């Protein structure tokens, strides 16, 4: 069983929040739906006892709406596609027990990603597109 107890998980769709391979797979689909060519370049892997740290760069191209969610699972913000590419550094920490991942947390450059994709600072036109995308996403979920 893979149990991911992360702060990051609170922005994911509810189906991604389960601590098993199905949740991991749902997270991959959620990201790959919005970001074409999503890739992770691994720079370093360090292990110390049951703790493993992976330093990487995540990259891709924003081709479809990317929705983030509230802790209770409601649509919070939707970023309509910009067609822009990004590459950001991340570090992922895993705690291993009995050969399985039992805990995970990460540090990501979300601000850098937002700047590269044109989300930050948002233009008035992009804010309008965000509101329209959120409305469409909420209707589709209902």
Helix (H) or strand (E) holding 27: helix 21-34
Nearest to 115 by CA among 69, 75, 84: 84
* Class for the domain spanning 8-141: alpha beta
Average pLDDT over residues 120-132: 96
Query: Over 90: is that where the pLDDT of 16 sits?
Result: no
> What predicted TM-score, i.e. pTM, was given to this entire model?
0.85
Determine the pLDDT at residue 135: 96
Residue 66, C-beta contacts closer than 8 angstroms, at least 6 positions apart: 34, 35, 78, 79, 81
Determine the pLDDT at residue 56: 97
Query: Over 80: is that where the pLDDT of 3 sits?
Result: no
Q: What is the percentage of the chain residues whose pLDDT exceeds 90?
A: 71
C-alpha 17/C-alpha 139 separation (Å) is 22
The mean pLDDT of the chain is: 90
Determine the pLDDT at residue 8: 56
In the chain, where are the structural domains located? 8-141
Average pLDDT over residues 7-12: 70
Q: Which residue has the higher pLDDT, 102 or 113?
A: 113
pLDDT in tens, 37-89: 999 999 999 999 999 999 999 999 999 999 999 999 899 999 999 999 999 99
Which region among 15-29, 34-48, 92-106 has the lowest average model confidence (pLDDT)?
A: 15-29
Q: How far is CA 65 from CA 38, 106, 107, in A?
A: 15, 23, 23
């Amino acid at each position: 069983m893979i149990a991911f107890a992360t702060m990051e998980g609170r922005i994911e769709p509810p189906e991604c929040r389960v601590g098993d391979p199905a949740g991991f797979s749902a997270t991959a689909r959620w990201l790959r739906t919005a970001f074409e060519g999503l890739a992770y370049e691994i720079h370093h892997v360090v292990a110390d006892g049951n703790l493993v740290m992976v330093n990487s760069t995540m990259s891709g191209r924003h081709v479809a709406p990317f929705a983030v969610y509230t802790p209770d699972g409601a649509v919070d913000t939707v970023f309509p596609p910009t067609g822009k590419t990004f590459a950001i550094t991340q570090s992922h920490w895993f705690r291993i027990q009995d050969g399985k991942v039992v805990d995970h947390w990460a540090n990501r450059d979300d601000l850098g990603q937002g700047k590269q994709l044109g989300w930050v600072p948002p233009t008035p036109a992009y804010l309008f597109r965000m509101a329209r995308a959120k409305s469409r996403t909420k209707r589709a979920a209902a």
